[in-house]
A and B are shown apart, each in its own frame.
Chain A
Amino acid sequence: MGYLGGFLVSLRQIGRKQRVTTEYPKEKAPKPDRTHGRHVLNRYEDGMEKCIGCELCAGVCPARCIFVRGADNPPDAPVSPGERYGFIYEINYLRCIHCDLCVEACPTEAITESKMFEFSFTNRADAIYTKAELTVDDAGMPQKLPWEDWRPGEDLATSAWMRATAPSGSAEFEGIVGWSAELGYGLRAPEADQEHKDAVTAGPSPSDHGHVDHDEAHDHEDHDEDHDHDDDHGHGGL
């Protein structure tokens, strides 16, 4: 066909059902397991709050969007196990960059991130989520506020990043549960296929560089792998 061959190439695309776009508000592209969305404050299985008001999340937050004040637990009606609890907990979503550092910093896995990031406000005050809005309900599910666009599956698998990584980042703890049970979910399983993923992301040549380098490479390259894995996972989850 020579010069005109290109016209056939484009013509063949007509009428194909395959689409590279999704009709966004109606349907959403699948989100990776480790998507960082709106935070939730978790509770233990007995209904106690996990937050102990230590303010580590507020301290680590690079955007300075978290405000926490702890208070002593009332002896007759304790809010959390232990001495103190989060008395005030506020996150300003006009500042939050969803970096997940608060989740990493939290010693009790009290704060994790769901996969829902589609929410909007009409004034600045509404952008500040308080403890009442962030804490999970009595079934352990994140509260679905009217201006948030929750889809099935987005409230599952929160804190996926936490479950994918061993405490303190040491590889020896891979696949070992180092976290407490949650209301509504029980003891969450470690992220699946950790070893398999490591094998793939490490590449064909066994790396001879140091331990730290390896961890960094793992973190960066993981994203590509995530997609394949998440498709399977997502369908199973739904």
Chain B
Amino acid sequence: MGMGGDPLLAGHIDLAIVLIVLLKVVLVFAFLLVATMLMIWFERKVVGDFQNRVGPNTAGPFGVLQTLADGIKFFFKEDLIPDRAERRVFILAPLLTVVPAFLLFSVVPFGGDFTNGHDGSVEIFGHTTYLQLADPAIGILFALAMSSLAVYGVMLAGWSSGSKYPLLGSVRASAQMVSYEAALGLSVCAVVLVTGTLSTHEMVMSQAGSGWLGFIPRWNLLVVGIIPFVVFLLASQAELNRPPFDLVEAEQELVGSYHTEYSSIRFALFFVAEFMNSVTMAALIVTLFLGGPAGPVLFGPGWLWGIIWFLLKTVVFLFGFVWVRSTLPRVRYDQLMDLGWKVLIPLSLGWLLLLATFWVARDQHWNGFVTIAIAGTIALIFFGLLKAAVKTSRIRRLEGVVD
């Protein structure tokens, strides 16, 4: 594999290949920035529509340039650093959130022809490469690592501000993000289990093809069962600090939390990172569960259809995110923790074990019916035990036996 699965880097690396990689870096960087800009506009416009408002409509056609205007404005705002702030950390923190947000997208395959046994590679200047910035063997682990790193930015921003509310907010943030990271990772585990690879490109490959009965796609959504997908969806919202899990930024309680003391472009960086993460998380969901850029080619070049399918699927999820945001009220902190630890983690863990059992049973040619019966019974027993434990602890807490 060498530096990754990308055929571009398989052989001798010369200047042309370095230039191609650089070109890809610039393209992905620009795409991500534009996508973020459009996402912010899209979210404001759609939420406005949900709430019977107009939304941004002045800058550019349909207000599409509003984000650009806001960005320019932020650059010219006064940059304040509080006296009691930890200066160096305070300056570092926004960068710590924005850099992982950029890096996160590098493992997402965003185009290519995956039909009829094609492997999604394209020819650029006589070299073969994937439409994906990098395809490291650790693939999805890299994405998880980067999304975990973003916690540091939030955490350090809150701590270094030298102020109460940011600190409270960042403590909430780290607790929430660490909790939901576990559920997120466990549902990714299910995908890794069935695809047998960590590489995002190979995950897409495994989901490509004509599918069952010729029209049902072989998406991981169906292969792993719906549960890991739902868990990932919920956990990703919490990981992104989006409503209804936006306790970290609960304006009513925390005055904006970790970014309270920030102003100017540093403040904007947090929001760039947040919306960029929304885009990337939608792209990751598409990659993991919905086949990424894989899809039928109707006419014209196949790689273009890859991009079209990828964008289409991603936008559907982004709309879903906005829909959720404009519908659900914020959950309480204990509800958030309950959902994370008592529902999502046991659910994804249990499902992972069941899934593993079935796959082993299939490999070993065990009796399917007996396997399902035994595994189901054990799962039910554990579910009952968990329920009993939760109930007991709640009763004891109400009695004041334990805090």
Contacts and interface: CB of A to CB of B under 8 A. Distances in A.
Contacts of A23: 54, 57
A7 interface: yes
Interface in A3-32: 6-7, 9-11, 13-16, 18-21, 23
Given A11-B323, A23-B57, A6 B52 contact: no
A16 B52 contact: yes
B326 interface: yes
**Of B51, B57, B324, most A-chain CB atoms within 10 Å:** B51
Contact of B50 (A14, A18, A19): A14
A7 to B, nearest CB: 5
Nearest to B57: A23
B241 to A, nearest CB: 21
A19 B53 contact: yes
B13 interface: no
Contact of A13 (B49, B57, B328): B49
Given A11-B50, A13-B51, A21-B54, 4 more contacts: A6-B327, A7-B324, A13-B52, A19-B52
A12 to B, nearest CB: 10
A7 B323 CA distance: 7
Nearest to B49: A14
Interface string B41-61: 000001001111110010000
Contact count band on A? 10 to 19
A47 to B, nearest CB: 45
Interface size band for B: 10 to 19
Contacts of A16: 52
Interface string B109-133: 0000000000000000000000000
Interface in B320-340: 323-324, 326-328
Nearest to B58: A23
Contacts of B46: 14
B53 A21 contact: yes
Contacts of A7: 323-324, 327
B317 to A, nearest CB: 15
Nearest to A17: B52
A15 B51 CA distance: 10
A10 B54 contact: no
B54 A13 contact: no
Nearest to B328: A6
A19 B54 contact: yes
Nearest to A13: B50
A15 B49 contact: yes
Nearest to A11: B323
A16 B51 CA distance: 10
A10 B50 contact: yes
B200 to A, nearest CB: 30
13 contacts: A6-B327, A10-B50, A10-B323, A10-B327, A11-B50, A14-B49, A15-B49, A18-B52, A19-B52, A19-B54, A20-B52, A23-B54, A23-B57
Contacts of B51: 13, 20
Nearest to A12: B50
Contacts of A6: 327-328
B53 A20 contact: yes
Interface string B13-47: 00000000000000000000000000000000010
Contacts of B328: 6
A34 to B, nearest CB: 28
A87 to B, nearest CB: 47
A147 B339 CA distance: 57
A16 B53 CA distance: 10
A16 B52 CA distance: 7
A16 B324 CA distance: 19
Nearest to A22: B54
